[in-house]
Amino acid sequence: MRRKIHQVRPKVVHVIGDSHALAFKNKSIAYSEVSMIFSTSVAYIRGLRPDVLLENGRLNQQLAEYLVKERIITPNGKPISATDDRALLSEQYATGSGFEMELVVFHVGEIYVRKYLGTHLQNGEFDKAKIESDLSNIVESYVKDVFTIARNFGLTPVVHEITPPTADDSQFERINQFSSSREHRAYAYECFNKLLAEYVTKHSCMLCPSSDRLADNEGCLKAEYEFDGVHADPKYALMSLCRVADLWLYSRAVGGTKRYGRWFEITRRSIDLPKISQVGVSDPEQIFDQAQVERIRKSIGPLDFLACKKPALDWSHAAPFNDTEKSTTEVKYGAVDASGLELLHEVLVDGPAGDSIRSLIGSKFAIINVRAVESAPHADEGVGPQKFHRDHCPIGIYRGLLYLVDVDEGEGGFEYQPLDGSPEPKQILGKAGALFLFDANAVDHRGSPPRTTTRLALDFVILTVPEEAEEIVHCAPLGYIWPVDPYMFSLSGACYPKQKSDRWFYPSLITAGSEPARFKPL
């Protein structure tokens, strides 16, 4: 009997914390919409406090051991994505998951607040202002340390709220050897969570709330979540895991990995900001003649509404669930066949246009994806790609557009906010065959909605490449996930020149130079 196998992509959620982290052990959730499974890996560090994640700039010993064991950092304290250790690199590539930023949830603070409350009450008075000021200091340094660790090791950090205190006064006293009214407990715990929310926003971290579900109207743990007088029933962990997964799906930033930065450094011919980033958008040039435009048009496969039939989980795509509409049925996408890619290569890489592109981006380049985009005329406001946005591409990625029809005023021209500060957006108009490049991170841009005619164009993703790399033109199957690692990604679509391997792989560049360790954890 043939089994039906449903392929899913796993994502590990590392949960680091005191005993509250244990609720997350062996938890998984499946998101069928994006064919993903989020599974936890827990680093339980007994009694872990928010003030000891970093001690004198040194990573907490047990935390360091966990991160090394999980191959998130190297034994000498570098992020794994910046290592030049061949054995570690081989292990990374063997997993096939590339060099994503690991998702790490910090779940500490409850024990700290409880002990703090005991000390505070020893003085006999409940001083709200003092509690707020003391907790503010600890929460600020906690969130700063999480941010520092995340930045140095290339992690995506999430800070979890602390579990609300249990409601039973006598049980609390029995367990903790001091008495505190439930109002006082609730105040201190709520204060900590409120401060967390304030500081995560300041320090580019994300917060996983939980007290909105776990706490009753008085700020204590709801009876249905009561577990052992201290912890919440582990059933809440699935709710938190969903929230963490949502946060990650909205914010994923694979392009922020150290490897993209390293790659970009290697590719650059100059330390100056590339011209394209200085001007934002290049002037359109009439590169292709009418006959060539015809040949390109013929090489375009069937056009479809959906840009992405497969899970879209990387920098170049919209979040899979979003309240705002990201895609529009007015825009269709299509692939380009091998003959089209050959022509593009002949003109854009080998022809004089190649030098102009190299000069704009300041390096050699590969067109790692090209696709056709057809925008149907409509009278509505634009949504998705027809609304002003930036692309948040990784460093070293630029975009290009080739018109395949004449584009007049109001007929779907690429529109952008000029970098010279002019208040009015500008439209790029041009004849079929006109090409221009843009830095999609530098300028707000959109494809303006065509009003009466259908606009057809090719849309390019251009990667800077070092001297020794081949300048390819590649068309990934529609819905393909863009590379997360510029040193290695799958060439699963049509490619010109044809490659021996279906992988783009430049291992020789990986070990060229590396950053000094920021921490010495072991």
Nearest distance, CB of residue 462 and Fe ion, angstroms = 13
- Using CB under 5 A, which of 145, 190, 330, 391 touches Fe ion? 391
Q: How far is CA 208 from CA 163, 211, 522, in A?
A: 12, 10, 30
Piece in contact with Fe ion (CB under 5 A), picked from 153-161, 251-259, 344-352, 439-447: 439-447
Piece in contact with Fe ion (CB under 5 A), picked from 241-249, 280-288, 316-324, 438-446: 438-446
Closer CB to Fe ion, 15 or 401, in the complex: 401
Closer CB to Fe ion, 136 or 441, in the complex: 441
Closer CB to Fe ion, 148 or 386, in the complex: 386
Q: How far is CA 288 from CA 360, 404, 435, in A?
A: 19, 9, 8
Nearest distance, CB of residue 393 and Fe ion, angstroms = 9
Burial of 308 (0-12, 13-18, 19+ CB in 10 A): middle
| Whole-number CA gyration radius for the chain | 27
**Amino acid in the structure at residue 463:** L
Other C-beta atoms lying within 10 Å of the C-beta of residue 484? 22
Q: Which residues contact 130 (CB under 8 A, 6 or more apart)?
A: 120
Closer CB to Fe ion, 461 or 473, in the complex: 461
Tell me if 439 contacts Fe ion by CB under 5 A. Answer: no
DSSP assignment, residue 326?
-
Distance CA 65, CA 309 (A): 40
Say if residues 71 and 80 touch (Cβ distance below 8 Å).
Answer: yes
Piece in contact with Fe ion (CB under 5 A), picked from 88-96, 152-160, 268-276, 432-440: 432-440
Q: What are phi and psi of 292, to 5 degrees?
A: -70, -40
How many chain residues touch Fe ion (CB under 5 A)? Answer: 2
Closer CB to Fe ion, 102 or 391, in the complex: 391
Nearest distance, CB of residue 275 and Fe ion, angstroms = 20
Piece in contact with Fe ion (CB under 5 A), picked from 333-341, 345-353, 389-397, 411-419: 389-397
Closer CB to Fe ion, 175 or 395, in the complex: 395
Reduce the DSSP state of residue 459 to 3 states and report it: strand
Q: What are phi and psi of 398, to 5 degrees?
A: -125, 165
Strands 364-375 and 397-403: unpaired
Closer CB to Fe ion, 315 or 365, in the complex: 315
Give me the residue label for tokens 């938890």.
27
Nearest distance, CB of residue 385 and Fe ion, angstroms = 6
Nearest distance, CB of residue 470 and Fe ion, angstroms = 27
**Residue span 314-353 as binding mask against Fe ion, x where in contact by CB under 5 A, dash where not:** ----------------------------------------
Nearest distance, CB of residue 338 and Fe ion, angstroms = 27
Contacting positions for Fe ion (CB under 5 A) = 391, 440
